[in-house]
Amino acid sequence: MSRAWQQPLPEMPAPAPERAWRRWPAPPGYETQWRRLAEAALELGVGPDELAQTGLGPIATAREWKPATVALYSKVARYGGLALPRAPTPEPDPVQLDLRALTELRDQDPEHVRAVAWCALALAWPAPVGMFRSLRRDQVHAGSRRLVLRTDDGEWVVPGALTAWHAWESVRERYPALAASPWVLPALRRGPGLDSRIGGRLSNQALQVTFAKHAGRTAHHLRATAPPSRYAAAAELAAAYRELSYDSFRRLALAAGAPPVSARGVVRAARSVARAGRLAG
């Protein structure tokens, strides 16, 4: 953890924002998120001292950040030593949401098929995004009717994902870099990093963005293809998808009865189910 944030002395004005951010070390493991937070703050001419006083509200408004993004960057800021108030990760609303449209194949675009395979696996194996980032192909075994995932934590039977998995494997075979990659969710293009390459391991942030894009495109497809008799329901589902993050998707899958893969999110999912039961009663 970095040093705790302190107000500048009255007779010592705060340095210029750009210089102040350069002097403030990033929290270990969150260098990329810290850099993006600093860039967003500098767009408004806000230094770390002022950010600790005003909070993330002005930046979140300017960037149109969703509540989940605000929660992420408030956590990163606190890890860096800035005394920001804790922003809770928003609960998925509604507690029950039909997620099956995210697992339906619409075309053979690699980005689409990769996202569908991910959602199909996560619907029955709701692992945190970090576990999917490190999931290897040799840990996924396709049987005649279902998939079996074997990790250091145990073995899970994953029904309902076989079609999407075979489709993703078929798409990968058309591209040598993807076919040779050991990762279940490899990069499809080079990123800005020097070590980035096609077939390489994606970052947690890249996977979160990948899911958000898939949910948004699925929302557009639902609205564009719904018959008149189903348009209102499709529009409501599409609106929920546009606000959906992978963390919310995972908690919804857990609340729907999927077996927990790790302790993260299980308590929150249980609270969501209990709250829904109280409201129904």
Measure the CA–CA gap between 163 and 121, rounded to whole angstroms: 11
Q: What percent of the chain has pLDDT over 70?
A: 84
Backbone angles phi, psi at 140, to 5 degrees: -110, 120
Give the pLDDT confidence score for residue 279 in this predicted structure: 43
Give the pLDDT confidence score for residue 266 in this predicted structure: 44
Backbone angles phi, psi at 193, to 5 degrees: -70, 155
DSSP state of 137: G
State mean pLDDT over 131-136: 95
Is the pLDDT assigned to residue 167 strictly greater than 90?
yes
Quick check: 131 and 179 in contact, CB under 8 A?
no
> What pLDDT band is residue 88 in, cutting at 50, 70 and 90?
low
Is the pLDDT assigned to residue 278 strictly greater than 50?
no
Is the pLDDT assigned to residue 165 strictly greater than 90?
yes
User: Is 91 in a helix, a strand, or coil?
Assistant: coil
Measure the CA–CA gap between 78 and 85, rounded to whole angstroms: 8
> What pLDDT band is residue 52 in, cutting at 50, 70 and 90?
confident
State mean pLDDT over 189-215: 87
Give the pLDDT confidence score for residue 7 in this predicted structure: 58
Quick check: 250 and 119 in contact, CB under 8 A?
no
Is the pLDDT assigned to residue 250 strictly greater than 80?
yes
pLDDT tens digits for 89-111?
Answer: 665 555 678 999 999 999 999 99
Measure the CA–CA gap between 235 and 80, rounded to whole angstroms: 41
State mean pLDDT over 69-90: 79
Q: What's the residue count for the chain?
A: 281
